Amino acid sequence: MLYRENGQFKSSYAADQQLLPIAQDRWFVVGLIVFAYVAVPLLASDYTFRALIIPFVILAIAAIGLNLLVGYCGQISLGTAAFMSVGAYAAYNLTIRVEGLSFLIVLVLAGGIAALVGVLFGIPSLRIKGLYLAVATLAAQFFIDWLFARVKWFTNYSSSGSVSTAPIEIFGWTVVSPVDKYLFVLSIAIVLTLAAKNLVRGHIGRSWMATRDMDVAAEVIGIRPLTAKLSAFAVSSFYAGVAGALWGFVHLGAWEPLAFNINLSLNLLFMIIIGGMGSLLGAYFGAAFILILPILLNQVPGWFGVPISTGLVSHLEAMIFGSLIVFFLIVEPHGLARLWAIGKEKLRLWPFPH
Amino acid sequence: MGTYLLKNWAVVALIAALVIGMVLPLATGISAPGFYFEVMLGGLMSGVLYSLVALGLVLIFKASGVFNFAQGAMVLFAALAVARMSEVMPLPVAFILAIGVMAIFAWLIERLVLRHLVNQDAVVLLMATLGVSFFLDGFGQTVWGSDIYQIDTGLPKTPVLVAENIFQGGILINTEDLVAAAVAALLVIALAIFFQKTPTGRALRAVADDHQAAQSIGIPLNHIWVIVWTVAGFVALVAGVIWGSKLGVQFSVSLVALKALPVVILGGFTSVPGAIIGGLIIGVGEKFAEVFLGPVLVRQFDLAGGGIENWFAYMLALLFLLVRPEGLFGEKHIDRV
């Protein structure tokens, strides 16, 4: 009833091609952003920010990056956490080695360095695909893990191998309190999401999708596999690098070697499988799901008076993730995002049957 | 042969580098011969385990085109089952019961997962087995517990000194290791006989060669998948018991088994001998890299410790992927990428 585009006429191509053609969608997104900027800081507690909301926003950025590679370009990656760690360590080294660099520039440079490393490990994708590529990215994961744990220069010769960061300062705004941190990562997430949305709508995104759907046909119609695949690796790693730098500087503050291990990579992959492959919204859904489920598992049995040990919680979590992945792959390969889209379609007809 | 060498100079160079790297410590006298062979034997032992895990992978890949990421989780699950059941019953009984458990698991996998994902993209199947692997890790530890368990096979663990008269110091060998290697060899021979001589084995090979042709002459694919997953489960069980009796059953088994991925890349996805030889190469190679190359790197670049064996296998596989994607023994297939 409310969600209907009757009477919304488009009188120019620009209006027809805009990001959200339906007015209700536009209002919803604007409302959501206002809610995120105004209501969330008023409602949420510091603990919620630290444990839930900030990690959610940062992981969503990383998941968007991975989704660009896996969901849009069809190249599997088991090494996202490694590219995140490249971003984190690059940002760390830039801040301590270069005086007076604004953190925004650091963030862009960190993403750029991660993108370079991503392209380097993406080169095998020009000769191999599928399973083989999974092993190549796994090699990136283990090698980069080792590199940052062992080469002392990266950690500035700290004796324990762990690094700690100074508070971020941008244009005189010191980002210390959880609310500040939240607003900072939220702004970056919105900018990056918008950029990703426009990328996948445009020429590059289409060449990725063509490569994903059928690489030979894509080549025949004039898409260079080299540019398509390597640009997907570059953009995906850029997102991962920025997310990694934020994860290190904003969420963790100080981190040890192996903070970005294979489990994080696998979790990110789960986020996009459950959230929805080939959907930016899905990255947000997946990140939220993966973060909320363990908390629910911790809390819910307590409400029913069934105490549950932390060990069991982590095992249950693994079981639920595992079965959900299989479930989604079989029943709804496009994940939660697809369910959302189906809901919207249904809403357009509601309450009339036709 | 000459043209082959010329055309594949990169492969030849890679293999030559590998061989030279393996012989170098002995030739230059960096290590005593006794120590050298001990390191090599240690590498071969872990190589046997990698081979067994890789064997399970290759069996499943050949029969169903599924790259089974869950093989490591199956090793852990089987080992946990044997370890916990052998606490209340004799080991052979526990072993046989565990075979039954793995058969039920294989049936469930076929029923609940594979059947619904027939004809899907290889990557989708890979992700599905990733899910299975998570489920199995969680399930195994919920049912069997998550401590470190020992499997006592009753074999003597005393080291034996051999070849004392050939060079100074001799070589220390664990009797248990020898038995384990013999068991692994027996398993491979038994599998070979099963595949070559029995009707079921012939059916399995037919499915591996061509799904559609096999189905058209009346081989039931679904049964074959259950059988092949059971066989892979059995291989996982043997690997798990060997591993468990050597190092104890614990969660890290499931992670170490990830090394089977580079092993099959090296040996070839579709080759059983490739899995075995690849496993041995990776096992020996990473031990050598750790023991002989590691200290050199640490000294040269002032690293904070070795740990090369964590990534050596993967990087070796990556190099192989660049020069010879089908592996050492795999079937060459032309595929546009």
**Residue A10 covered by a domain:** no
Which DSSP letter does residue A307 get? -
pLDDT of residue B30: 66
Q: Is residue B259's pLDDT more than 90?
A: no
Residue A49 Cα, gap to closest chain B Cα (Å): 29
**Cα Rg for chain B, rounded, in angstroms?**
21
The model's pLDDT over B273-332, given as tens digits with 9 standing for 90+, comes to 888 888 998 998 888 888 888 777 877 777 767 778 888 888 888 888 877 777 777 666
Number of domains in chain A: 1
Name the residue in chain B with its Cα closest to that of A142: B311
Q: Is residue A61 part of a domain?
A: yes
Mean pLDDT over each residue of chain B, to the nearest integer: 82
**Is the Cβ pair A127, B321 closer than 8 Å?**
yes
**Average pLDDT of span B124-146:** 87
Instruction: Look up the ipTM and state it.
Output: 0.84
The nearest CA of chain B is from the CA of A121 a distance in Å of 9
pLDDT band, very low/low/confident/very high, at B196 (cuts 50, 70, 90): confident
Predicted confidence (pLDDT) per residue in A276-318, tens digit: 888 899 999 999 998 988 888 878 777 777 777 777 888 888 8
Instruction: Specify the number of domains making up chain B.
Output: 1
Q: For residue B112, which residues of chain A lie inside 8 Å, CB to CB? A: 326
Q: Could you identify the residue written with the tokens 């020898």?
A: B178
- Kindly give, in sequence order, each residue whose CB lies less than 8 Å from that of residue A87, ignoring residues fewer than 6 positions away: A110, A111, A113, A114, A240, A241, A242, A243, A244, A245, A248
For B51-109, the pLDDT digits (tens) are: 988 988 888 888 777 888 888 899 999 999 988 888 888 888 888 999 999 999 999 98
pLDDT of B7 reads 63
> Residue range A47-58: average pLDDT?
88
Q: Which residues contact B241 (CB under 8 A, 6 or more apart)?
A: B78, B79, B82, B95, B151, B153
Per residue, what are the HEC states of chain B?
A: CHHHHHHCHHHHHHHHHHHHHHHHHHHCCCCCHHHHHHHHHHHHHHHHHHHHHHHHHHHHHHHHCCCCCCHHHHHHHHHHHHHHHCCCCCHHHHHHHHHHHHHHHHHHHHHHCHHHHCCCCHHHHHHHHHHHHHHHHHHHHHHHCCCCECCCCCCCCCEEEECCCCCCCCEEEEHHHHHHHHHHHHHHHHHHHHHHHCHHHHHHHHHHHCHHHHHHCCCCHHHHHHHHHHHHHHHHHHHHHHHHHHHCECCHHHHHHHHHHHHHHHHCCCCHHHHHHHHHHHHHHHHHHHHHHHHHHHHHHCECCCCHHHCHHHHHHHHHHHHCCCCCCCCCCCCCC
pLDDT at residue B201 is higher than 80: yes
Mean pLDDT of B3-19: 72
Residue A294 within a domain:
yes
The yes-or-no verdict on residue B163 having pLDDT over 70 is no
Is the residue at B326 inside a domain?
Answer: no
In a domain, B171, yes or no: yes
pLDDT at A346 over 60: yes
Q: Which 8-state DSSP code applies to residue A163?
A: E
Q: For A161-183, what is the mean pLDDT?
A: 81
Cα B204 from Cα B62, distance rounded (Å): 9
Q: Which run of H or E residues covers position A236?
A: helix A225-246
* Residue of chain A nearest B318, judged by CA positions: A136
Stretch B238-257: mean pLDDT, rounded?
Answer: 80
Q: How many CB atoms lie within 10 A of CB B67?
A: 24
pLDDT at A114: 95
Cα dist from A351 to A6, A9, A113, whole Å:
15, 23, 52
For residue B29, what pLDDT is reported?
65
In a domain, B233, yes or no: yes
Among the partner residues B113, B301, B337, nearest to A127 by beta-carbon distance: B337
pLDDT value at position B335? Answer: 57
The pLDDT value given to residue A47: 84
Reported pTM: 0.88
User: Which residue from B67, B134, B310 is facing A146, i.e. has the nearest CB?
Assistant: B310
- Tell me the shortest Cα–Cα distance from A129 to chain B, in angstroms: 7
Q: Single out the residue of B68, B52, B58 nearest to residue B131, CA to CA.
A: B68
Cβ separation of B315 and A225 shorter than 8 Å? Answer: no
Contact A146 B132 (CB under 8 A): no
Q: Is residue B156 part of a domain?
A: yes
Confidence of residue A109 (pLDDT cuts 50, 70, 90): very high
Per-residue pLDDT band for B208 (boundaries 50, 70, 90) equals confident
Residue from the list B113, B138, B262 with its beta carbon closest to the beta carbon of A318 = B138
Structural domain boundaries enclosing A220:
48-349
Is A29 a member of any domain?
A: no
pLDDT cut 90: percent of chain B above it = 10
Interface-testing mutation among B127, B265, B286, B320, with chain A (most A C-beta atoms within 10 A): B127
The pLDDT score that the predictor gives to residue B256 is 72
**Interchain CB contacts (distance < 8 Å): A and B:** 149
The encoded tokens of residue A247 equal 């994860």
Q: How close, in Å, is residue A234 to chain B by CA atoms? A: 19
pLDDT band at B246; cut points 50, 70, 90: confident
- Do the domain assignments include residue B191? yes
Is A19 contained in some domain?
no
Sequence-ordered strand ranges (E) for A49-167: 163-164
State the CATH number of the domain containing residue A240. 1.10.3470
Distance CA A245, CA A142 (A): 19
Q: Which residues on A lie below 8 Å from B308 (Cβ)?
A: 146
| Cα A19 from Cα A191, distance rounded (Å) | 14
Residue at B84 is within a domain: yes
Output A2 or A165, whichever has higher pLDDT: A165
Question: Which chain B positions have a beta carbon within 8 Å of A321's beta carbon?
Answer: 131, 134-135
Chain B nearest-CA residue for A319:
B135
The mean of the pLDDT values for chain A is 87
Q: Which residue has the tokens 């007809």?
A: A349
Interface of B with A in 210-239 (CB under 8 A): none
Residues of A in contact with B121 (CB under 8 A): 130
pLDDT confidence tier of residue A221, bands split at 50, 70 and 90: very high
Identity of the residue numbered A92: Y
Tell me if B124 and A333 make a contact (CB, 8 A cut-off). yes
Write out the two tokens for A51: 């444990």
pLDDT at A244 over 90: yes
Q: Could you list the residue range(s) of the whole structural domain that residue B201 is in?
A: 51-250
pLDDT at B164 (0 to 100): 64
Structure confidence at residue A86 (pLDDT): 94
Task: Tell me which residue has tokens 């996998």.
Answer: B109
Q: Is residue B195 part of a domain?
A: yes
Using a CB-CB cut-off of 8 Å, the residues of chain A touching B269 are: 131
Query: Given an 8 Å threshold on Cβ–Cβ distance, is B314 in contact with A316?
Result: no
Give the pLDDT of residue B108: 92
Strand partners for B145? none
Closest CA to A73 of A221, A195, A231: A231
Q: Which residue of A has its CA nearest to B255?
A: A262
Contact A315 B138 (CB under 8 A): yes
